[in-house]
């Protein structure tokens, strides 16, 4: 379902207040905006139903000391790359872009070397890319909350088919291993 009505000034005030304090109660919003609590609840419900307002559970990249990487890719096969990435626990999101590259991928990890290892050992060797450029995102300018899903059930072989215990980068401490692997040395993912 898409946006079916015009977002008015009151909706914008509600969205603004929730963006400043996601924990604010409907009662408090009602008091601040001087409208009834049921009216606030109905508007919030409509905004959620239309996808304008969503709730995200995640972690602050800065506070949790996670690292972000941006990988720009030129490819003729975006769908194949997306299928491959869906299984990767370091994968956050992708964007279809214009310009020199037609795709940008965001990855997250607990250290820089692990992100570099993932890109060099797996993405560059596996994906159907004509060109790939890896950049670290040094720090977000504002708070950046990202969804992470700590892996509870570890496997011997990672999602991309690698046994981290046999990887030279892992054995030489240049990589923490894959978060889905029983060999993973990280703490958060």
Q: Give the pTM.
A: 0.84
Whole-Å CA distances, 94 to 16, 46, 69, 82, 129: 27, 28, 12, 8, 15
CATH code: domain of residue 21: 1.10.10.10
Predicted confidence at residue 115, as pLDDT, reads 95
Q: Say if CB 53 and CB 18 are below 8 A apart.
A: yes
pLDDT tens for the 189 residues of the chain, in order: 556 678 999 999 999 999 999 999 999 999 999 999 999 999 999 999 999 999 888 999 989 999 999 999 999 999 999 999 998 999 999 999 998 999 999 999 999 999 999 999 889 988 899 999 999 998 888 889 999 888 888 999 988 888 999 988 899 998 999 999 999 999 888
Predicted confidence at residue 126, as pLDDT, reads 87
- Residue 174 lies inside a defined structural domain of this protein: no
The tally of domains found in the chain comes to 2
- Give the span between the Cα atoms of 145 and 140, in whole angstroms: 10
Identify whether residues 76 and 130 lie together within a single domain. Answer: yes
Residue 6, C-beta contacts closer than 8 angstroms, at least 6 positions apart: none
User: Look-up: residue for tokens 């408090």?
Assistant: 28
Identify whether residues 23 and 102 lie together within a single domain. Answer: no
Identify whether residues 143 and 110 lie together within a single domain. Answer: yes
Predicted confidence at residue 3, as pLDDT, reads 64
Identify whether residues 32 and 104 lie together within a single domain. Answer: no
Q: Whole-angstrom distance between the N-terminal and C-terminal Cα of the chain?
A: 33
Can you give the residue range of the structural domain that contains 31? Answer: 9-49
Identify whether residues 84 and 16 lie together within a single domain. Answer: no
Whole-Å CA distances, 64 to 58, 59, 82, 129: 10, 7, 27, 32
Going by their DSSP bridges, the two strands 145-146 and 59-60 should be labelled as antiparallel
């Amino acid at each position: 379902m898409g946006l079916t009505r015009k977002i008015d000034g009151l909706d914008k005030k509600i969205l603004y207040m929730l963006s400043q304090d996601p924990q604010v109660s409907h009662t408090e919003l009602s008091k601040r905006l001087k409208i009834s609590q049921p009216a606030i609840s109905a508007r919030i419900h409509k905004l959620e139903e239309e996808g304008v307002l969503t709730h995200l559970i995640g972690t602050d990249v800065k506070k949790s000391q996670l690292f972000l990487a941006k990988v720009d890719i030129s490819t003729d096969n975006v769908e194949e790359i997306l299928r491959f990435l869906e299984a990767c626990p370091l994968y956050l999101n992708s964007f279809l872009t214009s310009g020199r590259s037609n795709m940008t991928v965001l990855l997250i990890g607990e250290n820089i070397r692990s992100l570099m290892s993932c890109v060099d050992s797996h993405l560059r060797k596996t994906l159907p890319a004509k060109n790939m450029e890896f950049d670290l995102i040094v720090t977000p300018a504002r708070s950046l909350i990202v969804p992470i899903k700590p892996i509870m059930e570890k496997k011997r072989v990672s999602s991309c088919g690698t046994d981290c215990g046999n990887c030279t980068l892992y054995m030489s401490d240049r990589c923490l291993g894959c978060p889905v692997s029983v060999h993973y040395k990280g703490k958060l993912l």
